Amino acid sequence: MTDEDADPVMEATYRALCSHGYASLTMQDIADETDLSKAALHYHYDSKHGLLVSFLDYLYAEFTGRVRDPGGDGPTERLERFIEDVLVPPEPDEDERVAFGTAMLELKAQAPYDEDVRERMERFDRFLHGQARALVADGIAAGEFRAVDPDDTARFLVTALDGAGTKRVSVGRDTDCTRRMLHSYVETYLLAGEGEDAVTASGDGDSEAEPPREVTE
């Protein structure tokens, strides 16, 4: 996250989360990433909890600003760009994406026990679902997409994007694999017309687990 009007404390929180994760993060860790003392930090934020909730709001503003208008010509390109924007966060390299994604996963695990965190997670979810639904609906209206249910399709897409973020952390799946998978979903599932028939086999090589059984005809 780099922005001209970035908040130094929020940027420090971001760096501290990447370095320390959420569970063991202290106010001192965050202060260490700023010019402020821990006491000065406490003057603005009375607890780690309060600071992290503010950080989630900051993140929401950054995220929605970045993802709101994917640009692109026409619904298909716009949806593909939306997926790309969500899939590839602005972190400069994959290590940092994993580090930050890991901290976010820890924060998601707080949601059942922390109403403030839960509210923020729901807000992200509503925003993403609304964006995806609008993009799918645009594509249907323009005749580029099949007449799928925009609500369910958007829900599915956002769920898969969430799962992709988790897989990045838990099994180290790289972005290329996820991108290809989502691209294939859009091509195969959404596109109206000849795209549906043009399914090309494009396995990714890690097929060591359990070959298909009864496909012998």
d(CA 145, CA 139): 5
Q: How far apart are CA 98 and CA 206, in angstroms?
A: 21
Min separation Cβ 35 and its own copies, Å:
29
Q: Which is nearer to its own copies, 61 or 109 (CB)?
A: 109
Task: Rank residues 44 and 180 by Cβ distance to its own copies and give the closer one.
Answer: 180
Of 95, 208, 187, the C-alpha closest to 145 is 187
* Contact call for residues 158 and 131 (beta carbons, < 8 A): no
| Location of structure tokens 């890690």 | 206
Nearest residue (CB) to its own copies, 9 versus 131: 131
Kindly tell me which of 2 and 200 has the beta carbon lying closer to its own copies. 200
Closest approach, Cβ 40 to its own copies, in A, equals 28
CB of 37 to its own copies, least distance (A): 27
Q: How far is the CB of 41 from its own copies (least distance, A)?
A: 23
Q: How far is the CB of 119 from its own copies (least distance, A)?
A: 10
What span, in angstroms and rounded, lies between the C-alpha atoms of 181 and 207? 15
State the Cα torsion 167-169-170-172 to the nearest 10°.
80
Which CB atom, from 42 or from 167, has the smaller least distance to its own copies?
Answer: 167
Residue 116 burial (CB < 10 Å; 0-12/13-18/19+)?
middle
